[in-house]
Amino acid sequence: MLKYPDIDPVALALGPLHIRWYGLMYLVAFLAAWWLGRRRVSRLGPDGDERRFMDDLIFFGVLGVVLGGRIGYTLFYQFDKLLAEPTFVLRIWEGGMSFHGGLLGVILALWWFARRRGVGFFRLTDFVAPLVPVGFGAVRIANFINGELWGRQTDVPWAFQVSCARFPEQCIGLAHDALWSSGLHPSQLYEAVLEGPVLFVILWWFSSRSRPVMSVSGLFLLSYGVFRFAVEFVRQPDAHIGFVALDWVTMGQLLSLPMIFGGLLLLGLAYRKGS
């Protein structure tokens, strides 16, 4: 088994200002989407300056990710806390972002952007879908650096043991003087690979040729939903929620099901219209 390295979540400290890896990875995500989008934006045929189009698109995307991710986290994972303290949703500095909330936020932001720029909504989402997996992978690496979202106990050779001093919640049930936890699946790294390079290759290849409108968006939803649903089988459920159904269904799986069905629906509609 592997020992989890003592990685400082703070990448750079400048006096009272702490720049965390988690924030830097979000910056990487937006920069990667902007750079990749600049390479393909001419295919979308925006009116006016293409660079301005991408700048505006990224701005709307940032709003959707941050607002949707935070609101989704408080609604899906901390609803009791939100009811007790409504201002909790504003305390972004304490951490807590939901992918599914961020996705809904981005969808709303893209709908608004498409209306403002006179671009077809699904043409825009087909364009955006291949730009985001690099960011997904980067943020999952940040989860690993933070030592959060660990997988379940396992004895596979690549399992990680974490320090009981730093992560006491992972050592519950062990001897009081235990220094290291049992082996844990590095589920953050599984997601980093599947949601990052694997999803990127699938979508970039698929969208490199002319496809029916909605098909790229459908493949994105289907692929991400399947990857996330699968990894949840080895990822620890949220401690304050546990399993939400059947003693094995997690909140992540429950939220991924609409993505899977939505992806299948969009692919079916796309190829039915394209036939």
Write down the pLDDT at residue 274: 58
Q: What is the 3-state secondary structure (H, E, C) of 81-97?
A: HHHHCHHHHHCHHHCCC
As averages over each run of 10 residues, the pLDDT of the chain (275 residues) reads 92 87 91 91 69 88 87 78 70 68 90 91 95 95 94 96 94 92 97 97 95 96 97 89 83 92 96 74
In angstroms, what CA-CA distances link 90 with 15, 23, 30, 249?
24, 17, 22, 29
In angstroms, what CA-CA distances link 183 with 116, 161, 170, 228?
51, 5, 10, 21
Write down the pLDDT at residue 141: 96
Three-state SS for 160? strand
Give pTM, 2 decimals: 0.87
Residue 263 structure tokens: 């992806």
Write down the pLDDT at residue 217: 97
H or E element at residue 12: strand 10-14
Counted residue by residue, the chain has a size of: 275
Write down the pLDDT at residue 95: 61
Write down the pLDDT at residue 268: 96
Write down the pLDDT at residue 25: 93
- Percentages helix, strand, coil for the chain, rounded to the nearest 5? 65, 10, 30
CA 188 – CA 143 distance, rounded (Å): 6
Write down the pLDDT at residue 93: 55
Write down the pLDDT at residue 43: 72
